[in-house]
Amino acid sequence: MKKLIFVCFWLLGFCAYGQTDTTSSLLDLLDEKESVERIFNAFKSPRVIMGHSMEMLGEGMLDFRILHRFGMVNRGIGDLFGLDNASMRMSFDYGVSPNLTVGLGRSTFGKEFDGFVKYRLLWQSTGKKNIPFSLIWVSGLTINTLSTPFSEPNFEATLARRMGYYHQIILGRKFNSRFTAQLSPTVVHTNTVSANTPNDLFALGFGGRVKLSNRIAFVWDYFHVFNHPSKQISTNPLSLGFDIETGGHVFQLHFSNSVGMNERAFISTANTDWLKAEIRFGFNLSRVFQIKK
C-alpha cells in the first residue's frame, strides 16, 4: 500500500512538472511572437546618393567614404565626356550608438569642411512595437576655406561669414524587401549670400531604392527648392544611380546635375540643367570598418 501511494505521488509530480514545462514553453512562444523586430537594410548606405538616408551606422562602425563627381558629359570627347575634370569629397562617419551617428568631411568644391550629427527618433519595427516608419533628425554645418570666398574685394572673410548650417528631418519607410522611400524636409542657412538670394532656403527631398538583385539596387534622390530665386525646376539637384555591394564595400555609380556634395552646396549653389544634358557622371565608394565590438 505504501509503495502504491509513493508511485501515485511520483506520477502526480511528474505530470505537474511536465505541465509546468509545457506552460513555460507556450509562454516562451507567446513572448517570441510579441518580440520587437526592427527594420534593417532600408538602404545599403547611410547616404542615398547625395543626401542622408534613413539608414544608420551600427555602434562602433566607421564609414570611410570617397565621392567623385566629374565634369559635364555634354562637353564631348574633347573633355572625355567630363572625365578630365573632377571634384571630390572625403569623409569619416562614425556610429556612436545604433541611434546616433556623427561625421566629418571635406570637399574640393569651395574647399568646404562639413560636419553633422544624425539621430534616430523612431525606428521602423514590427511585433510588440509596431512603428510604420523611421524618423531621423540631422543637423550639420559647413565652413568655406577658400582664400577669397567672396567677390567683394574689401569684404572681410571672417569665420562666421564663411559658415552655413542645415537641419533636416527624414521620414522613411521600407515597404518590403525590394522597395524603400523617404521624404526629407530641409532648411539650409548660409550666413553670407549674394544679392537677392535669401539666407534661408527651404527644400523637400525625395529619395528611394529599388532592389534589383542581391547585390544591385537602383537609387535616386531629388531636392525641390521652394524659394531659390535663380532656379528652374530642371536645375534642382537630381541624382540617379545604382548601388553595387561588394563584400565590405558599397559602390555607387550615378549621374547628377550637382557638383556640390554636402547639403549646403547642392541645395544653395546653382546647379546645371538636366534638360540640356548638363549632367555629371560620378561614383561614391563606401568602406565600413568595425572599430568597436
The predicted-structure confidence for 37-79, as pLDDT tens digits, reads as follows 999 999 999 999 999 999 999 999 999 999 999 988 888 787 7
To the nearest whole number, what is the mean pLDDT of the chain? 86
pLDDT tens digits, 147-195:
887 777 778 888 999 999 999 999 999 999 999 999 999 999 999 888 7
**In the structure, what pLDDT confidence band is assigned to residue 20 with cuts at 50, 70 and 90?**
very low
Contact 280, 75 (CB under 8 A): no
Distance CA 267, CA 166 (A): 10
Per-residue pLDDT at 15 exceeds 70: no
pLDDT tens digits, 116-152:
999 999 999 998 889 999 999 999 999 999 888 777 7
Contact 56, 98 (CB under 8 A): yes
Per-residue pLDDT at 99 exceeds 60: yes
Nearest to 45 by CA among 220, 261, 252: 252
What's the rounded mean pLDDT across residues 216-240? 91
Per-residue pLDDT at 4 exceeds 50: no
> What whole-number percentage of the chain has pLDDT above 90?
61
End-to-end Cα, the chain, rounded Å: 64
What's the rounded mean pLDDT across residues 7-31? 47
pLDDT at residue number 247: 72
C-alpha cell at 100: 546616433
pLDDT at residue number 33: 56
- The whole-model pTM stands at 0.85
pLDDT at residue number 13: 47
Provide the CATH topology of domain 35-290.
Answer: Porin (2.40.160)
DSSP 104-171: EEEESGGGEEEEEEEEEEE--EEETS-B-SEEEEEEEEEEE--SS-SSSTT----HHHHEEEEEEEEE
C-alpha cell at 9: 505521488
